[in-house]
Amino acid sequence: MKLFATLCLGLVLRLSASLPVADVTKEDGAVQDAALPNRCDGIEFDAITPDEKGKVIFFKGAHLWKGFHGPAQLSNELFKELDDDHNIGHVDAAFRMHDPENHDDHDHIYFFLDDKVFSYYNQTLESGYPKSIQDDFPGVPSHLDAAVECPKGECVTDSVLFFKGHDVHVYDIATKAVKTKTWSNLPVCTSALRWLEHYYCFHGHNFTRFHPVSGEVNGTYPKDARDYFTDCPNFGHGGNYKIPKCSEVKIDAITSDNQGKKYFFAGPIYMRLDSQRDGLHAFPIVRTWKELTNGVDAVFSHADKHYMIKGDQVYIYKMDPHKTLIEGYPKSLKEELGIEGHVDAAFLCGDENTVSIIQGKKLYDIDLSATPRIVTKDYPLPISDIDAALCDSKGVYVFKGPSYYHYETAFTLGMARIAPVAESITPDMMGCLE
């Protein structure tokens, strides 16, 4: 069941207590070798980049950290050429290539040191590297401070932003043209990261979010990276989360948008999965849907909008980057969907205009193209106390606690009189603990 294979943060349902700082060097509350650097002490990173699987890697000197959790390790344990024997030892800048038109380069990681560039794929240095920066990226200067990918739609074209001082060299991947801008309002970046369509300039142990085309900074910055990009005792803007055991997993709702991004809701938290290459990330629901202060009961997506159900209210948000609440909402369930009572789950298949609502042991089909909304069909269900449901190209998945039921189609679910054998959520599916 590959749909959930990368739900690697588990469904982080419970806040763990903050961990005290002990005498032995720790990160994430775990003892680590005193000789290893600890990013919880406040570190200015040399470079930051996601790998081809979405895991963000932070570099400092001869060490790196994989992801937002865990201790440092030697860089040459992953990238064997990053050692003194090969006269590298550290990197000046790094980025993951975004070139969907050229699969030979797509998702490769590029490291820069002085006037050289190194290209890695699956942690293996590619043949012919290192090369001169000018050979691979003509017009880009040497001794860089930072680099970050910028796909078309966020930049004008598929591009790479190279930072040196206050100058930003915008490299067009297709044409290899370089345009240089000066962003004096932005701090000198020692590393940069694109994360969930936002761009971050890291400097000292702080970061500043910026617009990738204009360099504009909106909001209160700088902010401490330890509050957002790593798990550190006594830091964090939303608390530390604990991965549950598989037997304890419980989700409230699941949906996907028109770009294939999936959203998993659990208590006050939602997890967003863009793709295999971007990994899964957890946030407070109110960070994105600020009016939903008490979580959700059910969610479905239709016609470029998210329908969020809580209690007897329906909130409808635009699927824009700001998740704007439609004027006039929330409205009552009765007014919006023509039903009353608690909603356990909701799902909609593809571009259809029919949403399926589950209440207890009943399933209702509601025509969203009708005004007012009307229930077109209702079916008895062989199971009750359903938590969430999702329809995708492989069928309908119905979740109940740490188990799920799979149906080939929504019609199969509606006509079923006997429940299929429940299957248990596993670590491979959701990253939960045995």
Is 313 within the bounds of a domain? yes
3-state secondary structure 185-245: CCCCCCEEEEECCEEEEEECCEEEEECCCCCCCCCCCCEEHHHCCCCCCCCCCCCEEECCE
- Domain of residue 24, residue span: 19-227
Tens-digit pLDDT profile for the chain (434 aa)? Answer: 434 433 333 343 333 222 222 233 445 444 455 578 999 999 999 999 998 878 899 999 989 999 887 899 998 888 887 765 555 668 999 999 876 676 566 788 999 999 999 999 888 889 999 999 999 999 999 999 999 999 998 999 999 999 999 999 999 999 999 999 999 999 999 999 998 788 999 999 999 999 999 999 988 999 999 888 887 887 765 444 556 788 888 899 999 887 777 888 988 888 777 655 555 566 789 888 999 999 999 999 999 999 999 999 999 999 887 789 999 999 999 999 999 999 999 999 988 999 999 999 999 999 999 999 999 999 999 999 999 999 988 899 999 999 999 999 998 998 988 989 999 987 666 656 77
Q: Name the domain boundary from 163, 194, 227.
A: 227
Write the pLDDT tens digit of every residue in 336-384.
Answer: 999 999 999 999 998 899 999 999 999 999 999 999 999 999 999 999 9
Q: Are 220 and 247 found together in one domain? A: no
* Whether residues 203 and 262 fall in one domain: no
CA distance 184 to 25: 37
11 inside domain: no
pLDDT at 195: 86
> ∠ at Cα 402 (377, 258), nearest 5°?
55
Same domain, 400 and 314: yes
Residues 209 and 177 in one domain: yes
- Residues 364 and 419 grouped into a single domain: yes
**Is residue 235 in some structural domain?**
no
pLDDT, tens digit, for every residue of 86-117?
556 689 999 998 766 765 667 889 999 999 99
Structural domains in the chain (count) = 2
pLDDT of residue 70: 84
Is 234 part of a structural domain of the chain? no
Predicted local confidence at residue 429, as pLDDT: 62
- Do the Cβ atoms of 110 and 147 come closer than 8 Å? yes
- As beta bridge partners, residue 314 has 309, 331
Average pLDDT, the chain: 84
Domain endpoint, select from 196, 227, 258: 227
The confidence score (pLDDT) of residue 187 equals 96
Residues 6+ apart with CB under 8 A from 325: 289, 291, 315, 316, 317
- Of 227, 252, 278, which residue sits at a domain end? 227
One domain, residues 270 and 408: yes
Residue 158 falls inside a structural domain: yes
- Which residues 6+ apart lie within 8 Å of 2 measured at CB? none
Q: Is residue 10 part of a domain?
A: no
Q: 103 and 201: one domain? A: yes
According to the model, what pLDDT value does residue 33 have?
Answer: 53
Same domain, 273 and 169: no
Residues 212 and 275 in one domain: no
Residues 294 and 177 in one domain: no
In a domain, 13, yes or no: no
Q: Which two tokens stand for residue 65?
A: 């950290």
* Residue 12 domain-assigned (yes or no): no
150 and 246 in a common domain: no
Q: What is the CATH number of the domain that holds 23?
A: 2.110.10.10
Q: Are residues 203 and 334 in the same domain?
A: no
Run of H or E residues at 387: none
List, in sequence order, every residue forming a beta bridge with 360; answer none if it has no partner: none
- Distance in angstroms (rounded) separating the CA atoms of residues 328 and 308: 14
Question: What distance lies between CA 339 and its chain's CA centroid?
Answer: 34
Helices marked H in 289-382 = 333-337
